[in-house]
Copies of this chain bind each other. A is one copy, B any other.
Amino acid sequence: MSWADVGDTVCPIARSLAVVGDRWTVLILRELFLGARRFEEFQVQTGMSSHLLATRLKRLQEDGIVARRQYSQRPVRYEYRLTDKGLDFYPLLLSLKNWGEKWSGLKKNNPPALVIVHKKCGHETGLRLNCPSCGEILDPRDAAVTLGKKFSSERQARRGADGR
């Protein structure tokens, strides 16, 4: 399956990956969430080539995740901001942050690279996976997944096509 065919699946995970399943794109999102607005800042902090960055930014604009605004006429300069659609990637970034802090070999004694405070309550915040129904910590081992009819047929068809 090529990523251009992703419209053929009803799986929301695969469809998200078609948009954001590229590490460079996620690094640009990190910069935007950190408050960066300008091409040069994205480039310096991600280490991307101009060409790669321009391509990814354009794609993010086309996908409605980033909005571009001209802030200077001479010279012509643009700034970039996350749209609501882009801001909704926040949990994705927090998931990566949590996993990286726990598992990527960062020393436990080191102070965290990123501390997030909830301005409304003034305390440290972030992602913690609780069941929205009962409030308990949600362990994936306690989760039962049911597939919708369409996704189920899609998966069955793939098995059939493969002769299994």
How far, in angstroms, from A123 to B130 measured CA to CA in the complex?
A: 13
How far, in angstroms, from A90 to B40 measured CA to CA in the complex?
A: 34
Complex partner residue of A44 from B89, B100, B144, B158, CB under 8 angstroms: B158
A131 interface contact, C-beta 8 A: yes
Shortest beta-carbon distance from A29 to chain B in Å = 9
**Residues in B whose Cβ lies below 8 Å from that of A44:** 158-159, 162, 164
- Pick out which of these stretches binds chain B: A16-24, A54-62, A71-79: A16-24
**Residues in B whose Cβ lies below 8 Å from that of A17:** 23, 26-27, 96
Please indicate which of the listed interface residues A16, A27, A94 has the most CB atoms of chain B within 10 Å of its own CB. Answer: A16
A50 interface contact, C-beta 8 A: no
Complex partner residue of A15 from B33, B100, B142, CB under 8 angstroms: B100
Query: Across the interface, do A11 and B30 meet the contact criterion of CB distance under 8 Å?
Result: yes
Query: Across the interface, do A145 and B30 meet the contact criterion of CB distance under 8 Å?
Result: no
A-B contact pairs, 12 of them (CB 8 A): A10-B110, A12-B113, A13-B30, A15-B100, A19-B104, A47-B158, A89-B95, A90-B143, A91-B94, A110-B150, A116-B144, A126-B132
